[in-house]
Structure 1
């Protein structure tokens, strides 16, 4: 078994593969392992430096001819929702999000499968089994939570919990300066709710309530329709060669 020292992380480079966002492009990634007592501290530093986490791996693009992937973080304490976002928040006032330990359940996987089959049936995650899903949730050495969203019930005011079937799920890392949204999925039939946007709004509110300045959204790729939604949350910063800078289009 390969040993990885948390005190001196080693970085590796992947082979080129087809880019999932821009047709005709190829991607490469630089990555390292997040393990040991310093994993949380390392995850904070790497995320602030443009890395993303997947299980116990931190990675970032290292493409030879393309710099389209840009790290994005929302300035939670300065965030101002648009009119449409306020409408989405109003539509979802009947939902309650409960933060729990990062533990997979069969109910989560059932919703995850429905989401993939409806939204990403040809993507790289489309063949994920229940064991793959469990690894995605559990294989972490950093503070990670699952937030489950359900409808409010008659006792929710007292218990803080929703009732009924699971409607949406967010897998998130808690960092020293905010939240990093690792992955989220939802009931694909609940189109009226715009649940993807709603979960980001909920994370912004959670960050503000805890005095945390940022919500990290991963990468934005200009020209990719899949990524367009990320620039709607203003103000936000993009990581450039000069550091984090306020994004203005």
Structure 2
């Protein structure tokens, strides 16, 4: 048996399963564990190399004969907010997103269940219990934050907090070079707000305030309509075998 240094990550390959994005395709993933003192540094390096985080696991697609999944990150300082983005920002100007420690609540889970039931009722998260949700939020060895979105109140300018019911939540990793949007969910009953788009716009603004150059959006999947929205946030970079390629349009 080969001995491995304690701090050297070990990578594993999952068995094939049905692809959730492209009908008739199978997916496989390569993954490793994000634990211990070096978890945050490893998460930085792997995210920059096209991995995504789920709880204490970092993974990326390793599908035979398919390269449809492409890592995308937004160039924060050069992002151009077009007319439709400005309209979305204006429609949600009454909301404020506050970064908090990753602590799950029953209110979050209620919103999560409403979102999943409305948008992903047949997906892999459909059966997640409150304990599963708590694990998704708390099981992290890296710098993770929950961004909670509520209405602005009369004291918001003073205390920086929102009031009233939750509209949206984003589970976000703070990396050395950006914000990585791990998972987001929101009120499905106000489609006119385009909350999914607004959360990305707000993360771009937050990254700029924090002096971070990128917002990592995960995978754009060529041929998947539900992932096509990621192409709109320009300029952006997409990861190819040669490295990060700039995309203008």
Could you tell me how far apart the structure 2 residues matched to 1:59 and 1:14 are? Answer: 10
Q: Which residue number corresponds to residue 164 of structure 1?
A: 164
TM-score, normalising length from structure 2? 0.97
Inter-partner Cα distance in structure 2 for 1:202 and 1:233: 12
Instruction: Quote the residue 2:41 is aligned against.
Output: 41
CA contact (8 A) 1:6 1:39 kept: no
Q: Is the 8 A contact 2:76 2:208 kept in 1?
A: yes
TM (norm. structure 1) is: 0.97
Mind listing any 5+ residue stretches in structure 1 that lack a counterpart? none
Task: State the Cα deviation string for residues 121-159 of structure 1 (Å, max 9, x = none).
Answer: 001111100000000000000000000000011111111
Distance 1:81 1:117, change over 3 A: same
Distance across 2 between alignment mates of 1:147 and 1:211: 18
2:197 equivalent to 1:197: yes
**Counterparts of 1:219 and 1:31, CA distance in 2:** 16
| 2:121 aligned counterpart, secondary structure | coil
Q: Distance in 1 between matches of 2:63 and 2:204?
A: 31
Q: 2: distance between equivalents of 1:77 and 1:102?
A: 27
Shift of 1:191: 0.9
Displacement, 1:5? Answer: 6.9
Runs of 4+ in 1 over 2 A off after TM superposition: none
Q: Is the 8 A contact 1:75 1:215 kept in 2?
A: yes
Aligned to 1:58: 58
Q: Which residue of 1 aligns with 2:239?
A: 239
| 2:35 aligned counterpart, secondary structure | coil
Query: Contact 1:137/1:171 (CA < 8 Å) preserved in 2?
Result: yes
RMSD in angstroms over aligned alpha carbons?
1.1
Equivalents in 2 of 1:6, 1:188: separation in Å? 45
State the match for 2:29 in structure 1: 29
How is 1:87-166 mapped onto 2 (pairs within 5 angstroms)? Answer: 87-166=87-166
Q: How far 1:6 sits from its partner (Å)?
A: 5.7
Q: How many residues align?
A: 246
Contact 1:75 1:235 in 2 (8 A): yes
Distance in 1, matches of 2:6 and 2:163, equals: 41
Report the alpha carbon displacement of residue 222 of structure 1 after superposing the two structures with TM: 0.9
- SS in structure 2 at match of 1:199: helix
> Alpha carbons of 1:233 and 1:6: their partners in 2 closer, same or farther (altered >3 Å)?
farther
Would you say the 8 A contact 1:6–1:34 is kept in 2? Answer: no
SS in 2 for 1:22: coil
Q: CA separation in 1, counterparts of 2:222 and 2:28?
A: 18
* Distance (Å, rounded) in 2 between the aligned partners of 1:167 and 1:248: 32
Report how far residue 49 of structure 1 moved. 0.2
Task: Describe how 1:171-190 pairs up with structure 2 within 5 A.
Answer: 171-190=171-190
Instruction: Tell me the residue number matched to 1:226.
Output: 226
Q: Following TM superposition, by how much is the alpha carbon of 1:210 offset from its aligned partner in structure 2, in angstroms? A: 1.4
Ranges in structure 2 where 5+ consecutive residues have no aligned partner: none
Secondary structure of 1:134's counterpart equals helix
